[in-house]
Amino acid sequence: MKLFSFLILVLVFSIPSLAQKMQAEEVIAKHLDSIGKSEIRNQTKSMIGVGDVAVRYVSQKNMTSQGRIVMASSGEKNFLGMNLNGIDYPLEKFSFDGKKVKVAFVRPGVRSLLGNFVVTNGMLLQESLLGGTLSTSWALLNVSENKAKISFDGTKKIEGKETYVLGYSSKGNNDFDIKMYFDKVNFQHLRTEYKRIFSAGIGTSPEQSSRFSESRLKITEDFSDYKLQNGLNLPQNYTLNYSITGQNGTTEIEWKFNFTQFAFNQKFDDKTFDAEAIRPAIAAGQRVFGENRVQEAQGKWPVLRAETAGMELHLIGPLQSNKAAEAVALFDVIETVDREKIARAIATEMARQGRALRLYVQVNTGLEPQKAGIAPDDTVAFVTLCRDELGLTIEGLMCIPPAEENPGPHFALLAKLAERCNLDRLSMGMSGDYDVAIGFGATSVRVGSAIFGTR
């Protein structure tokens, strides 16, 4: 009889544990369904969200700043960037490239409070917690892979809405108390809270130690205004609140993001997720950039252009006709128009896409068989064809002289051809000879190697 009673007790105390586990799994499953069908989620390999951001310094009244926000993700890689109009806080950029978390300085050697928080708690990016469903690698999409422990922690009312609460325990960091809140009706992700208590410091004497107090850090993410985007139900509004209270009082900052545009399944270059790559040049004021390859440009520039207004992108490498559609969609200027087939392909795509690019004709001044470009003797006739028959805007001429020859005569020839074509724009000269090109009237030079180093 005693053995029978013991078995009943075991069963009674085992059932709640099993129910708790199943309930957490059920909340996650229904939450994933609320995002979109599984096939659409699996087909979404990358995501870009662009919009406006307003920053409010709650603990410092009347201090605000505004700007633009871009969030990008591809697989496990994540990037968040803000350009702001604040003097002391002009930007915020952090990323995870699949191996390392990187956070940009807002001023030389100085990171923001948010930046310091992210760099010291990299697991929030590594496990795709920050940003919630706005990331293709949102933590709950692959719970089994990230090996986090999820618990069902009951229900709670959040801003008038009943929610299910899940506790999240990271595989690599248990210092935070992390809670996620999901709408009880539609299972949309409404909030994530991160809490941490820092012990009081120890002074050199009991009297000094008594003056120290513990610090309480709380980060809150709120998500709202869900709308369908490319088959996925995503929040258009995202609020991030940072608050720390200690012996020096409370510091609280709030970021409000409103996403107005999304793009999906664009190919990203790895440099997209490197907060230190090309952005220093942009921060210094450079707005015109050249790219040699369409595919590489597709990988990095959608995000960079979303971050900063007024960017101008030139294609300075060879263009194949089967890449004309992508080139017309991405670039503002194509400098390598060198044959009728590619000119017609560009004209067709510009008409189809409703875009008007400025174009340069590339001239093979050295008549090198391995190099692209139209022959000098055919230049005037080709420019006339492009203008009169195809209706293209030919802005100037471009050339790349033979590497082993004096570039001066080639620059002089291009200048004469431009004069015959009634063109005043000359794209010529690179890192090793740009000064010579300027002497012959170059209006733009290509000096990427001098600034960013060789490939």
CA angle 16, 17, 22 (to 5 degrees): 95
Backbone angles phi, psi at 164, to 5 degrees: -90, 140
Ordered per-residue pLDDT tens for the chain, 455 residues: 444 443 333 333 433 443 344 588 999 999 999 999 999 999 998 898 989 999 998 877 768 899 888 898 888 888 898 888 888 888 888 889 888 898 888 887 889 999 999 988 888 888 889 999 999 989 999 877 777 889 999 999 998 999 999 999 876 666 789 999 999 999 999 999 999 887 765 555 656 555 567 888 999 999 999 999 999 999 999 999 999 988 778 899 999 999 998 888 876 656 566 545 677 777 777 888 888 888 878 777 877 777 777 889 999 999 998 999 999 999 999 999 999 999 999 999 999 999 999 999 999 999 998 899 999 999 999 999 999 999 999 999 999 999 889 999 999 999 999 999 999 999 999 888 888 999 999 999 988 776 665 65
For residues 176 and 129, the answer to whether their CB atoms sit within 8 Å is no
Give the chain's domains with CATH numbers.
42-264 (2.50.20), 278-452 (3.20.20.10)
Mean residue pLDDT across the chain: 85
pLDDT in tens, 180-205: 999 999 999 999 999 988 776 555 56
Residue closest to 307 by CA, chosen among 68, 76, 106, 123: 68
β-strand pairing of 425-430 with 444-446: parallel
Q: What whole-number distance in Å separates Cα of residue 213 and Cα of residue 209?
A: 9
| pLDDT computed for residue 454 by the predictor | 60
Q: How far is CA 202 from CA 206, 210, 249, 368, in A?
A: 8, 8, 19, 75
Dihedral sign for Cα atoms in the order 401, 405, 410, 411: positive
Q: What whole-number distance in Å separates Cα of residue 46 and Cα of residue 63?
A: 35
Residue linked to tokens 């999901």: 182
Q: Which tokens belong to 36?
A: 């979109």
Burial class of residue 99, CB neighbours in 10 A (0-12, 13-18, 19+): exposed
| pLDDT computed for residue 212 by the predictor | 62
pLDDT in tens, 127-183: 889 999 999 989 999 877 777 889 999 999 998 999 999 999 876 666 789 999 999
pLDDT in tens, 244-274: 988 778 899 999 999 998 888 876 656 566 5
Q: What whole-number distance in Å separates Cα of residue 95 and Cα of residue 223?
A: 21
